[in-house]
A = this chain, B = another copy of it.
């Protein structure tokens, strides 16, 4: 692990680790708090110091489970960055007032959700808070007021969005500074490569975070024809590099000039290690294209 693997912990400068740990499924792993802490410390030891949350993960339960683990060893908080999200309201027994799944980007909800994330995680601040989905009713001035208030109070250091189009990003960015757009990208979902999303990130020097870097596992399990083609190519290239196919899948993402930050969401530390290993692999343009072309099923134009 190189020096550059370590994210700055300075509050004055935004930085995430080059691979982020996603805790989407943490509740599913049915671990004790001690087991959770072991996994967290394992990630930290790998240089994966940033953890990606959302208020709604695990049916509103993951932040609390993570917070219980942190409480066992409070000093680990200083070695990590915490990202969370808000803005989706699920139909869920824990939220009986919700008649329908909907978005809420009101200042009231953003601030209340961020404060609840702090309480559940047992921390004083989030490093980054993201709006989880583009809300057609997003009032950019109101969101900016909420972000400014959370920033001024020290409760959240940086802000971003997730799943935003360039137009949606530019709207909110026109009112308040944003540091990232967390989007889906993998060889079976390449739209951001051509629809302007990654052009926009690169132009504004905004590093995208990447969710579902392995297509939620489908890269290695789906029998879909495109998935099989991609998998075969990943395996072939993996063999020439002497690494795993998963490592090559992460290397494919890391090769993009927008400098993506993949969110790896496995409870197996070995899988996290395979993600980190990609930082030492640089695919050449032919290898990258072979994987891309396996995804599209067509030669380049």
Contacts and interface: CB of A to CB of B under 8 A. Distances in A.
Interface of A: 88-89, 98-104, 106, 133-134, 136-142, 163, 165-168, 170-171, 174, 190, 193-194, 196, 198-200, 202-203, 255-257, 285-286, 288-290, 292-293, 299-301
B203 A257 contact: no
A141 B259 CA distance: 13
Stoichiometry (number of copies): 3
Given A170-B203, A286-B102, A136 B301 contact: no
Given A101-B300, A137-B257, A139-B257, 10 more contacts: A102-B300, A106-B285, A133-B301, A136-B292, A137-B255, A165-B199, A167-B196, A167-B203, A171-B200, A171-B203
Contacts of A134: 194
Contacts of A301: 133, 163
Nearest to A197: B167
Closest 4 CB pairs of A and B: A167-B196, A139-B257, A102-B289, A167-B199
A202 B140 contact: yes
B288 A137 contact: yes
A136 B193 contact: yes
Contacts of A142: 257
Contact of A257 (B99, B140, B194): B140
